[in-house]
């Protein structure tokens, strides 16, 4: 019998509330092996987060400018450097018991990099449903596409795996965000490569929810799980 992952589309939620939700869910999953895994999907108001390897010099606005423009800044316990979250971006937080999940699939205990590659593959396959050729870029995490400006990142990934094998944080797929907000940071600390969005690649606007079903289809296939979600989630 396949593992069940409960899915929630939370629409837009402030970062602190979503982070608390992640921590509460991860703690419950750690305490009770019978708790189901969960995939939280949402958007955030404009927020910059810096991970454990974050460098403040990659944030290009001072405190006064950040406050004036309504940006929130948070240091968090995921991997990676600085990234942006905002409306028009599909953020996914898989809170998974990776020991249970990977053993059920017949694998040895997963390492950090194996899980990262699986998340990348979910996004690559989701983009393929929209005829977008996403892929990996040597030396970097996340999902990239070739553009007239060269390789640009379309999805960032930053995760945490606890000593008990519980995952938190996750991915941020640029569907149709305000791309000017990326100009205030060095995204993921990577100089020389830009960022793009699904809307830019397709040259047409589309809602964040347009990527929900492609992401769910790919997630279910890659992780070989059964997703449990309300029919109202997909419209």
Task: Identify whether the C-beta of residue 69 lies closer than 8 Å to the C-beta of residue 36.
Answer: no
Distance CA 115, CA 23 (A): 19
Q: Which of 185, 188, 215, 218 is catalytic?
A: 188
Among this protein's residues, is 188 annotated catalytic?
yes
Question: What amino acid positions are annotated as catalytic residues?
Answer: 188
């Amino acid at each position: 019998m396949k593992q069940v992952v409960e899915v929630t589309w939370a629409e837009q939620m402030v970062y602190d509330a979503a982070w608390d939700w992640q921590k509460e869910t991860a703690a419950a999953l750690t305490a009770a092996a019978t708790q189901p895994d969960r995939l939280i999907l949402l958007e955030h108001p404009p927020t910059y987060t810096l991970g454990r390897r974050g460098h403040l010099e990659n944030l290009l606005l001072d405190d006064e400018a950040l406050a004036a423009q309504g940006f929130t800044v948070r240091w968090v316990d995921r991997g990676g450097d600085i990234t942006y979250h905002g409306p028009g971006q599909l953020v996914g937080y898989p809170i998974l018991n990776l020991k249970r999940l990977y053993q059920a699939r017949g694998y040895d205990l997963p390492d950090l990099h194996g899980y990262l590659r699986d998340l990348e593959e979910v996004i690559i396959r989701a983009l393929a449903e929209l005829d977008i050729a996403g892929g990996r870029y040597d030396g970097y995490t996340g999902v990239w596409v070739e553009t007239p400006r060269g390789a640009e990142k379309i999805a960032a990934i930053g995760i945490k795996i606890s000593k008990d094998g519980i995952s938190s944080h996750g991915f941020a797929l640029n569907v149709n965000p305000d791309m000017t907000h990326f100009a205030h940071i060095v995204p993921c600390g990577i100089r020389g490569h830009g960022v793009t969005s699904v809307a830019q690649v397709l040259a047409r606007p589309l809602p964040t929810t347009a990527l929900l079903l492609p992401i769910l289809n790919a997630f279910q296939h890659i992780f070989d799980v059964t997703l449990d979600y309300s029919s109202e989630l997909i419209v």
